[in-house]
Structure 1
Amino acid sequence: MRLDKYLKVSRLIKRRTVANDACDAARITVNGKSAKASYQVKTGDIIEIAFGQRTMKVEVLEIAEHALKADAAGMYREIL
């Protein structure tokens, strides 16, 4: 699954276009490297998202094409 779509489905970022823009602005890294929106996400990947002053780091646990709001949080695990 593409990175921008994963970020939207998992509800880490609200809209796919916003996720796409964040990738273009190099605010998202996967496994320590800057990633494009077309990057194919795999289970076990570590995604870092820079939200202004705050950075969120998550590990991909599951990949699903569609997820309900209640199930979305189970797609990743936040790393401190």
Structure 2
Amino acid sequence: MRLDKFLKVSRLIKRRTMAKEVADQGRVLVNGLQAKAGTPVKPGDELTIQFGQKDVVVRVERMEENARKEDAATFYTVLKETRREQEDLF
């Protein structure tokens, strides 16, 4: 499954267009490598996603083409969530 579609179906990112933009900006890593929206993901892959000042690392557990809201959280496991310190501009 494409990275952008997985991010949308799993509800890690709300809209697929936003998932595509985030991936194409280089803010998503798949198994430690920078990924584009079309990068294939499979169960067992580790995704690192930069959300503003927060980095979230998740492991892909399973995937389906469509999912109900209640099932979306079972598609991944959060491994680590860290907050990046804001860099001083001066």
Same fold (TM over 0.5): yes
Larger Rg: 2
> Structure 2 counterpart of 1:36, which letter?
K
Shift of 1:70: 0.4
| TM-score (structure 2 length as normaliser) | 0.87
Q: Which runs of 5+ in 2 are unaligned?
A: 81-90
Q: Distance in 1 between matches of 2:44 and 2:79?
A: 12
Q: Distance in 1 between matches of 2:33 and 2:41?
A: 13
Q: Distance in 2 between matches of 1:44 and 1:12?
A: 16
Deviations 1:3-54 (CA, angstroms, capped at 9, x unpaired)? 0000000000000000000011100000000001001111100001001110
Structure 1 consecutive aligned stretches of length 4 or more whose deviation exceeds 6 Å:
none
DSSP-derived class of the 1:14 partner: coil
Q: Which runs of 5+ in 1 are unaligned?
A: none
Aligned residues: percent identity?
A: 52
| TM-score (structure 1 length as normaliser) | 0.98
DSSP-derived class of the 1:43 partner: coil
Q: Which residue of 2 aligns with 1:39?
A: 39
Q: Distance in 1 between matches of 2:41 and 2:27?
A: 16
